[in-house]
Homo-oligomer: A and B are copies of this chain.
């Protein structure tokens, strides 16, 4: 996604208002590679802006997703995750710690056998144990 400054301009240009809540979320999402859930973002946001509502977090995330600034992904962990990285990539989920890592694949396998299916998107979810969790014997 674009920088908070660029988003500020983009929002105004789109007739949307730039509120403190939105600006905070712009900042929390910028360069964020943790693939946060709405609730985890709400947790961090609440610490910095007591009183911000979970509803507002959801709404802002939905808007950003509709504008194409972030993507919403589903990796099987129960709740939606949001990703400011909108480049073409996939994800690896650690079954130990729940971390979601970005994965870049050379060539996504083509669909074979399913004649007539027009693919618009393909998403690979890897599951396993991440380096951090494997490294430590505990």
Q: Are A122 and B120 in contact (CB under 8 A)?
A: no
Q: Are A116 and B134 in contact (CB under 8 A)?
A: yes
Q: How many residues of A contact B (CB 8 A)?
A: 37
Is A135 on the interface with B (CB-CB < 8 A)?
A: yes
A134 CB contacts on chain B under 8 angstroms = 116, 118
Question: Which residue on chain B has the smallest CB distance to residue A124?
Answer: B124
Q: How far is the CB of A99 from chain B (nearest CB, A)?
A: 10
Number of copies: 2
A76 CB contacts on chain B under 8 angstroms = 74
**Which of chain A's residues 107-122 have a Cβ closer than 8 Å to chain B?**
107-109, 111-122
Q: Are A119 and B127 in contact (CB under 8 A)?
A: yes
Question: Which residue on chain B has the smallest CB distance to residue A130?
Answer: B117
A105 CB contacts on chain B under 8 angstroms = 109, 112
Interface of A is mostly: mixed
Q: Are B117 and A128 in contact (CB under 8 A)?
A: yes
Q: A104 vs B109: C-alpha distance in the bound complex, in angstroms?
A: 10
Q: Are B119 and A122 in contact (CB under 8 A)?
A: no
Question: Which residue on chain B has the smallest CB distance to residue A72?
Answer: B76
Residue-wise, chain A 124-138 has the 8 Å CB interface mask toward B (1 for contact) of 111111110011000
With A74-B74, A74-B76: A113-B118 Cβ-Cβ less than 8 Å: no
